[in-house]
Amino acid sequence: MTEKIIFWYGCNVLRHGDIIHGCLEILRLLGLDARPAGGPDYCCGNGKDGNQTAADGMARRTVTRFNSMERDRLVAWCPSCHAHMIEFMGEAYTPQFDLTYLVDVLYERRDRLAALLKHPVPMRVLVHKHLGFNDKVAVNERIPALLRLIPGLEVVDDDYAAPGYMCALLSAVPAAMEDMVRETVRRIAARRADAVVTIYHQCYRELVGLEPHAGIKAFNYIQLLAQSIGLQYEDEYKAWKKAGASAGTLIGEKRVEQVGVQFFERALLPELMKRPPGLGDE
Amino acid sequence: MRSKQVVAAIGWRTPSVRHWLQHNQDKMSANMARQAMPTGAMQAFVRKETERILAACTKCGKCFEACPMTRYSPKLAGADPKAVATGVLGLLNGGEGSPEALAWASVCVRSGSCVPACQDNVDPKMMVRIARMIASGGLGGTKKIPVRDDRDYYDRVRAFAKLQLTEDEIKNWM
């Protein structure tokens, strides 16, 4: 019988439609009936340290909505959501579902996944790791193991793990973010890697800028699994980052108008133009 | 008429009708279930954790010593680990918190290196997280550290969703 799950993708990965679509297709190919749920209406409230009344309301709403779906388990993409569910939401309210992180689902089914990985991805990659979250899910070991299932792909051994659990919170400590970028670039060169591979979307958002600004290829691990399976999802976010100030032209007038021209220019374009900190001047 | 009855009456005829009904059925069920769950459970849990931490911590400062982020705050240069831990507990106990305690809470990015360093099972990551909530004014009281307020956060997420997902996906997945 097909296991019915909720695929809780979170909020910020909505910048990367190819990652969400790739995850869903991989889950389907692994025999899971995945129902996607995410965005602000399913927010975990992890970012609301400064307003616990709001965090409480969000936790209550989201746990309640998942309970009402009556699915076998909740599979999380985002490490913030996963950790917040374990540490706070699930302690405060009463989840009526099991919680698993996506990497564990893929790792549990790695034999079946390996059979799907038919297309070689000849590349030598450095996995971008963090110190945190690995106590909950052994991502720093399991992601390299999953990537090594891809024909032609080599994962270099490297012991660097950046502070934090993903790059998101480092943005509040600019010097730490700069150190992370500099050390990542240094390790890529030292290991003669062709590319850096991120585990999380937030790190991908920070490091994908290395392509246009430092000539270093960057991927998220799901993109490489999808590529080896033969799934064709375009990484538009990377294309927009490469376009920089011209991203609006690439996206197209009609789509920019859908989100509002002024809002696009004020709230989206600066992010697309942003150069990874710590690289120095161009 | 309950949404389940609506679904039963018209059948699962088209994917879009099915998805709309499923989506709204979940919302209605969630609304009913929510009425049964009292609000404020998060704050109650945080209070309980605060009491546990205050009772368990021996202020040894090993958590501070293990933190990879202390070098990013000038206020923490040369700080006494035991004094910083004591300052954090003061904050949890309703006090103002020392400048060092506030500085540590400000640079915490949840690396979790402090957790295995603790011999008393305090969970210092939780301790500093709660200190940060308090210092941010999240549990009432005044703000003692700067809080990032990104007024565009959710609108930006929705805007990217519009650029990356189809209308049906937005309707049914968000």
- For A119-229, CATH gives 3.40.50
CA distance B24 to chain A (A): 11
- Residues B80-110 pLDDT 10s: 999 999 999 999 999 999 999 999 999 999 9
Q: Residue ranges of the domains in chain A?
A: 3-107, 119-229, 236-273
Whether A91 contacts A78, CB under 8 Å: no
Residue with the bigger pLDDT between B26 and A237: it is A237
Backbone φ, ψ for residue A4 (5° rounding)? -100, 125
CA-CA distance, A202 to A46, in Å (whole number)? 14
**What pLDDT score does B36 carry?**
65
Terminal CA-to-CA distance of chain B, rounded, Å? 24
- In this complex, how many residue pairs, one in chain A and one in chain B, have their CB atoms less than 8 Å apart? 170
Q: Which of A200, A199, A198 is nearest to A211 (CA)?
A: A198
Residue A10 has pLDDT above 60, yes or no: yes
Rounded to the nearest integer, the mean pLDDT of chain B is 87
> How much is the average pLDDT of A32-53?
96
Q: What was the pLDDT predicted at B33? A: 57
- Contact partners, residue A93, CB within 8 Å, separation at least 6: A59, A60, A63, A64, B37, B41
Cβ separation B109–A258 shorter than 8 A: no
> Under an 8 A CB cutoff, do A14 and B165 touch?
yes
Burial class (CB in 10 A: 0-12, 13-18, 19+), B52: middle
Chain A residues inside the 8 Å CB shell of B50: none
- Which H or E element spans position A102? helix A102-108
As a whole number, mean pLDDT of residues A58-76 equals 95
> What's the pLDDT score for residue B37?
80
Q: In which band, very low, low, confident or very high, does the pLDDT at B122 lie, cut at 50, 70 and 90? A: very high
Q: CATH number of the domain at A3-107, please?
A: 3.40.50.1860
A119-229: same fold as A3-107? Answer: yes
Q: State pLDDT tens for residues A245-268.
A: 999 999 999 999 999 999 999 999
Question: Residue ranges of the domains in chain B?
Answer: 1-37, 41-135
Residue B35 pLDDT:
57
Q: List B residues 90-109 in contact with A (Cβ-Cβ < 8 A).
A: 106-107, 109
Q: Which residues from chain B sit within 8 angstroms of residue A39, using beta carbons? A: 157-158, 161, 170, 173-174
